[in-house]
Amino acid sequence: MADITRRLGWRHLRGAPTAHIRHHRGGKLLHDGPGLSFWFRALTAALSEVPVDDRELAMTFHARTSDFQDVAVQATVTYRISDPALAAARLDFSVDPDTGAWRAAPLEQLGTLLTETAQQHALDVLSRTSLSAALVDGVTAVRERIAAGLATEPRLPATGIEVVAVRVMALRPEPEVERALRTPAREQIQQEADRATYERRAVAVERERAIAENELASQIELARREEQLVDQRGTNARREAEEHAAADAVRSEAEAARTVRLAEAEATRSVRLARAEAEGAREVGEARAQAQAAWLRVHAEVDVATLHALTGTRLAENLPRIDSLTVSPDVLTGLVAKLGARE
């Protein structure tokens, strides 16, 4: 839409680079071109704005195949207005000099023309194609047929329209038919999934069996080695017992020999000790005899008084120690009487 501003009864139009502006006044063409900017009077000016950029036209329509199945076609047509003067002469692209908006709907007319033309060619090709073939190769066939049909359509060049590209995004049957068509493929996929599951389970079972066999073989080998270990332990125990017995025998023999040697040494020492004791006893006896003889010789030569004194001395040495002596009057009287009698 053109940008129009007001200034003291005049109007100023500023167009976009993608919009072709045509300005007539009194039947004469004053301005013609894209991206123009000029002043004009609203009462005498006739303005047209024709877009010259590429435009996308999305279309969706229904068709019927040769086996009487409804399908929906989604397509997009890219077009441009290559001859703005011709398009402005065939379609109403006039704009309001005050607002710059189109007074009619020219692009809707172009869309209707392109949609009906494309639909006509698509229906023509799908009506001779079965549903299964249309779902497999219908997109390419419909796109090529629409492009060829639009290229040969005489109304489009006469209106200044050039088709740039045609794209068909989807060609789909009705939901019930689509679900019915999906069922076999879905069943096949499910069967493949089930087959893969069964194969995976079979592989798992086989692996479990192999693992169980390996465990059993390991247990058998372990039992065999345990048996060998028990035999070896028995052999080692017997060998150890024999070695202990031999060591005990050697130790017993050594102990017996040592005992014999000790007994012999003890006997020798006892004999020597007995001899030494006998010799000592004999020598002691001889010494005592000599001492007794000497004592007797001495006492034989001493007088009786001396012997009595020695006897008293010896007796006094052997008497117990007297700490205190108590003399009663009776004893003292008797002693005094005896002493008096002796006098």
Task: Report the mean per-residue pLDDT for the chain.
Answer: 84
**pLDDT tens-digit series, residues 152-190:** 999 999 999 999 999 999 888 888 887 877 777 778 888
**pLDDT tens-digit series, residues 2-33:** 788 888 889 998 988 899 999 999 889 999 99
- Joined tokens for residue 80: 């441009």
Element holding 197 (H helix, E strand): helix 175-301
Residue 5 CA to residue 214 CA, distance in Å, equals 94
Q: What pLDDT score does 324 carry?
A: 66
For residue 213, CA distances in Å to 203, 207, 210, 221, 223 come to 15, 10, 5, 12, 15
**pLDDT tens-digit series, residues 252-303:** 888 888 888 888 888 888 778 878 887 877 887 787 778 777 767 766 666 6
**pLDDT tens-digit series, residues 82-112:** 999 999 989 999 999 888 888 899 999 999 9
Residue 214 CA to residue 207 CA, distance in Å, equals 10
Residue 246 CA to residue 244 CA, distance in Å, equals 5
The whole-number average pLDDT for the span 124-137 is: 87
β-sheet bridge partners, residue 72: 62, 172
Cβ-contact 31, 133 below 8 angstroms: no
**Residue 146: pLDDT band with limits 50, 70, 90:** very high
**Residue 327: pLDDT band with limits 50, 70, 90:** low
Residue 73 CA to residue 169 CA, distance in Å, equals 8
Enter the pTM of the model.
0.53
Compare 294 and 339 and report the one with higher pLDDT.
294
Q: What pLDDT score does 325 carry?
A: 60
Q: What pLDDT score does 312 carry?
A: 67
Element holding 220 (H helix, E strand): helix 175-301
Of the listed ranges 57-71, 196-210, 212-226, 278-292, the least confidently predicted one is: 278-292
Q: What pLDDT score does 250 carry?
A: 84
- Joined tokens for residue 159: 């209106």
Q: What pLDDT score does 67 carry?
A: 86
Q: What pLDDT score does 338 carry?
A: 67
Q: Is the pLDDT of residue 114 over 80?
A: yes
Q: What pLDDT score does 308 carry?
A: 67
- Joined tokens for residue 138: 């219908």
Residue 338 CA to residue 328 CA, distance in Å, equals 16
**Residue 305: pLDDT band with limits 50, 70, 90:** low
